[in-house]
Amino acid sequence: MNESDIFEVVETEQIPGAKFEVVQYKSLKGSDNLYVAEKVFFANKADIHLKMIRVTLERSEILIEPGALYFMKGDLQLKSDIQQGLSKGLMRKFTTGETLFQSRIKGSGEVYLEPTFGHYSLFNIEEDGLIVDKGAFYCASADLEVTAKMQGNVSSALFGGEGLFQTQIKGTGVVVLVSPVPTAELLIYQLKSGEKLSVDGSFAFARTASVEFRAEKSGKSFLQSATSGEGLLQTFTGPGMVWIAPTEEVYKRLGAFNTSMYPVTR
């Protein structure tokens, strides 16, 4: 059976020497375990697909999270090192949750990363870098640099809901991020210089580095903020782009409801 009979490509980004694809199984055929077969049946009915990242290299190189490799085919070499040296690697690990070591795959061939029922988003970075949620980085073309970015002001660090550091991706190339929701559910806003986007929650997924982020009161005073029921808002000021995931909080509430109704037992 050909791969095209099993997989379908749902998203693609390409640069010279590397093509990044999100591929998904058209359907899962089941299991000899009845419990697993039941889960597979409902996953198929709910249109939930098992996905993988496939990267096709032509005398090129990619950077992946250690442990993400599933299998690869072709003239390819795998090695691990500490990106940007030990000090920067330690800073990235302890401030953003990214790993100390990064794996690199170099050569020509096809690389498949571990399958998941989760979601991926592909970004082609050309000029302005990206600032993303901690732990969102999954893999990238080798010319990109993954570092820790300290929040630019006290309000965003203490009250913004994102912590003191986030992950910054700089350079030119393609990066694959683990998305909290399907890519089709991400809203993208292109902000003009000085234009604001205010979010009541922590569901802003990514922004270009030119966008300023801070936590602001929803009203002119703390009293107004308290009486409005909104409190502090995540505020993004252009110019630049912001990706938000409005359905993320809904899925979290549904997951919490399911856990309370049907507690997990060991």
Stretch 178-206: mean pLDDT, rounded?
A: 93
Of the listed ranges 7-11, 152-156, 193-197, 215-219, the one predicted with least confidence: 152-156
What is the structure's pLDDT at 148? Answer: 79
Answer whether residue 30 is part of any domain.
no
Residue range 105-150, pLDDT digits in tens:
999 999 999 999 999 999 999 878 899 988 899 999 999 988 877 7
Answer whether residue 128 is part of any domain.
no
Answer whether residue 104 is part of any domain.
no
Band of residue 231 on the pLDDT scale cut at 50, 70, 90: low
Residue 238 in this model has a pLDDT that exceeds 80: yes
Helices (H), the chain: 3-6, 34-45, 85-96, 154-159, 222-228, 248-261
Q: Which residue has the higher pLDDT, 52 or 98?
A: 52
Stretch 79-97: mean pLDDT, rounded?
A: 52
Band of residue 260 on the pLDDT scale cut at 50, 70, 90: low
Exposure string over 191-202, b if 16+ CB within 10 A, otherwise e: beeeeebeeeee
User: 79 - beta bridge partners?
Assistant: 104
Q: By the 8 A CB rule, do 145 and 125 touch? A: no
Band of residue 193 on the pLDDT scale cut at 50, 70, 90: very high
The helix or strand, by DSSP H or E, that contains position 115, with its residue range, turns out to be: none
Stretch 12-28: mean pLDDT, rounded?
A: 95
Residue 239 in this model has a pLDDT that exceeds 70: yes
Q: Which residue has the higher pLDDT, 157 or 118?
A: 118
What is the structure's pLDDT at 76? Answer: 97
Answer whether residue 83 is part of any domain.
no
What is the structure's pLDDT at 146? Answer: 86
What is the structure's pLDDT at 149? Answer: 78
- C-alpha angle 191/197/203, rounded to 5°? 115
What is the structure's pLDDT at 164? Answer: 66
Residues 6 or more apart whose CB falls under 8 angstroms from that of 30 comprise 36, 37, 40, 41
Band of residue 182 on the pLDDT scale cut at 50, 70, 90: very high
pTM as predicted: 0.80
User: 74 - beta bridge partners?
Assistant: 109
Answer whether residue 247 is part of any domain.
yes
What is the structure's pLDDT at 218? Answer: 60
217-226 own/partner pairs: CB under 8 Å, 24+ apart: none
Rg (CA), the chain: 20
Of the listed ranges 24-28, 52-56, 87-91, 191-195, the one predicted with least confidence: 87-91
Answer whether residue 42 is part of any domain.
no
Strands (E), the chain: 7-15, 18-25, 51-64, 69-81, 102-113, 119-125, 130-132, 137-141, 145-150, 165-170, 173-179, 187-191, 196-199, 204-208, 212-217, 232-237, 240-244
Q: The tokens of 84 are what? A: 């940007």
What is the structure's pLDDT at 156? Answer: 46
Side-chain-side CA neighbours of residue 210 (13 Å) = 12
Answer whether residue 157 is part of any domain.
no
Answer whether residue 58 is part of any domain.
no
Count of domains observed in the chain: 1
Q: Which range of residues forms the domain containing residue 205?
A: 181-265
What is the structure's pLDDT at 180? Answer: 92
Give the position of tokens 């393609």. Answer: 174
The CA distance from 241 to 128, in Å, is: 10
High-pLDDT (> 70) share of the chain, %: 77
Identify which of 182, 70, 204 has the alpha carbon closest to the alpha carbon of residue 121.
182
